[in-house]
Homo-oligomer: A and B are copies of this chain.
């Protein structure tokens, strides 16, 4: 089928390639002319036969809002917009309403797979009405991994991004789990070769996983990760997961601890620990570092 694809960065660019590989016709637009198939969004829309499908793959927030605002005026009733970016699930209902008012359908798609997606396929969690999702089936089939899994219609509008958000929250805690274990093993006197312990876990253990495989890859590149700084960014979904937990009164101790570990990793001179140091000094005369 034909599809418009807005945003041809690391993810969007690979998705165009995978879609074309599957025989679909993709018209891609990016603000960077070197990546773009057409000079503008208008050209993208005009290049597609109706009813059109346009997949938006740009940064969450302002950029996505901007593209959706433009598409709401360029598209016609019966067309469909897919937001495949990392939008907050609360934006989806707003976008769906805005487009619905003009007769345009909306589907939200959480996309996982990172830089490996081109090769392995992208896991897709989608939300929206059956009719819109059915219309997009060929595209979802082309993007998803081969095999029985990797795609789900999770529920109504917002469910795709909500599921993807929770996926990322889980991801934070699993990464933190391996990271904590790795640090403790590195500290143990008796253990000679932590990398080989991790490698051995890839079969037969309860904790075998793709992230474990990646950890072994990373340790093969840099045996003790000595070239890296202990600095980890976070990308929105982890924060939203905690916010959703607070909204729903669901305790998420491990996921939240993982998010907070990232916050702390980016602080040069922790204000709260300066206060703890100051208090220890006040009552006990304990040494502080200046």
Contacts and interface: CB of A to CB of B under 8 A. Distances in A.
Contacts of A266: 249
B192 A159 contact: yes
Interface string A170-203: 1111111111111111111011110011011111
Most-contacted residue by chain B among A177, A191, A232, A254 (CB, 10 A): A254
Contact of A150 (B152, B162, B182, B203): B203
B283 A114 contact: yes
Contacts of A204: 112-113, 117, 120-124, 144-145, 149-150
Contacts of A149: 199-204
B152 A206 contact: no
Give the secondary structure class of A's interface.
Answer: helix
Given A260-B253, A276-B262, A230 B154 contact: no
Interface in A199-246: 199-212, 214-215, 217-218, 222, 225, 227-234, 239, 241-246
A32 interface: no
A73 interface: no
B228 A173 contact: no
B150 A278 contact: no
Contact of A254 (B89, B184, B205, B254): B254
B158 A229 contact: no
B150 A202 contact: yes
Nearest to A186: B271
Contacts of A72: none
Interface string A258-290: 111111111101111111111111111111111
Contacts of A225: 271, 274-275, 278
Given A191-B155, A246-B239, A273-B262, A285 B180 contact: no
Q: Which 8 A-B pairs have the closest CB atoms?
A: A209-B209, A123-B204, A230-B270, A230-B273, A152-B200, A173-B177, A253-B257, A251-B260
9 contacts: A115-B284, A156-B190, A170-B180, A173-B180, A183-B275, A215-B282, A231-B289, A249-B263, A251-B272
B180 A163 contact: no
Given A113-B205, A123-B204, A167-B206, A244 B184 contact: yes
Q: How many copies does the complex hold?
A: 4
A7 interface: no
Given A156-B190, A191-B163, A206-B167, A211 B283 contact: yes
A171 B178 CA distance: 9
Interface in A78-115: 89, 112-115
Nearest to A187: B248
